[in-house]
Structure 1
Amino acid sequence: MPALQGKGVVVTGAGRGIGRALATRAAAEGARVVVNDLDEANAHQVAAEIGGTAIAGDVTAPEALIDAATETLGRVDVFFANAGIDGAGGANSLQTEDDVWDRVLDVNVMAHVRAARVLVPRWLDDGQGGRFVVTASAAGLLTMIGSAPYSVTKHAAVGFAEWLSVTYGARGIDVHAICPQGVRTQMLEEAGPLQALLSRDSALEPEQVADAAVAAIEDGRFLVLPHPEVAGYYVARATDTDRWLAGMRRLQQKVDDAGGSS
Structure 2
Amino acid sequence: MKVTGKVAVITGGGGGIGGALAERLVASGAKVVVSDLDPVSASRVVERLDSGTAVSLGGDASKTEDITALIALAEDTFGPVDLYFANAGISGAPGLEASEADWDLSIDVNLRAHIRAAQILVPQWLERGEGYFVSTASAAGLLTQIGSATYATTKHAAVGFAEWLNVTYGDRGIRVSCLCPMGVNTKLLYEGQESGNALGAAATKAVLSAGDVLEPSEVAEIVLAAMDAEQFLILPHATVLDMYRNKGADYDRWLRGMRRYQKALLGETD
After TM superposition, the score normalised by the length of structure 1 is 0.94
Matching of residue 100 in structure 1 with residue 102 in structure 2:
yes
Alpha-carbon distance between aligned partners in 1 of 2:43 and 2:127, rounded to the nearest angstrom:
32
Q: Secondary structure at the match of 2:170?
A: helix
Q: Counterparts in 2 of 1:34-183, with a 5 A limit?
A: 34-51=33-50, 52-61=54-63, 62-89=67-94, 93-127=95-129, 129-183=130-184
Structure 2: gaps spanning 5 or more residues: 194-200
**RMSD, aligned α-carbons:** 1.2
- Whichever residue aligns with residue 145 of structure 1, its letter is I
Alpha-carbon distance between aligned partners in 1 of 2:204 and 2:160, rounded to the nearest angstrom:
26
- Deviation (angstroms), 1:195: 2.6
- Deviation (angstroms), 1:126: 2.3
- For residues 187-236 of structure 1, give each alpha carbon's deviation from its aligned partner in whole angstroms, at most 9, with x where no partner exists: 11223133332022111111111111111111121000000111111111
Query: Which of 222, 231, 243 is matched with 2:232 structurally?
Result: 222
Query: Which of 239, 255, 266 is matched with 1:245 structurally?
Result: 255
Matching of residue 198 in structure 1 with residue 207 in structure 2:
yes
2:19 corresponding residue in structure 1: 20
- Deviation (angstroms), 1:55: 1.5
Alpha-carbon distance between aligned partners in 2 of 1:148 and 1:45, rounded to the nearest angstrom:
33
Could you tell me whether the CA contact under 8 Å between 2:9 and 2:70 is conserved in 1? no
- Whichever residue aligns with residue 44 of structure 2, its letter is Q
Q: Secondary structure at the match of 1:171?
A: coil
- Deviation (angstroms), 1:63: 1.7
Matched positions, count: 253
- Deviation (angstroms), 1:163: 0.2
- Whichever residue aligns with residue 109 of structure 1, its letter is L
- Whichever residue aligns with residue 15 of structure 1, its letter is G
Structure 1: gaps spanning 5 or more residues: none
Q: Secondary structure at the match of 1:227?
A: coil
- Whichever residue aligns with residue 61 of structure 2, its letter is V
- For residues 92-143 of structure 1, give each alpha carbon's deviation from its aligned partner in whole angstroms, at most 9, with x where no partner exists: x21311011000100000000000000000011123x100000000000000
Q: Secondary structure at the match of 2:48?
A: helix
Matching of residue 207 in structure 1 with residue 217 in structure 2:
yes
- Whichever residue aligns with residue 19 of structure 1, its letter is G
Alpha-carbon distance between aligned partners in 1 of 2:235 and 2:128, rounded to the nearest angstrom:
32
Alpha-carbon distance between aligned partners in 1 of 2:76 and 2:115, rounded to the nearest angstrom:
22
- Whichever residue aligns with residue 102 of structure 1, its letter is D
The range that moved more, 207-216 or 104-113, is 207-216
Q: Secondary structure at the match of 1:252?
A: helix
The share of aligned pairs that are identical, in percent, is 50
- Deviation (angstroms), 1:34: 0.7
Matching of residue 254 in structure 1 with residue 227 in structure 2:
no
- Deviation (angstroms), 1:23: 0.8
- Whichever residue aligns with residue 225 of structure 1, its letter is L
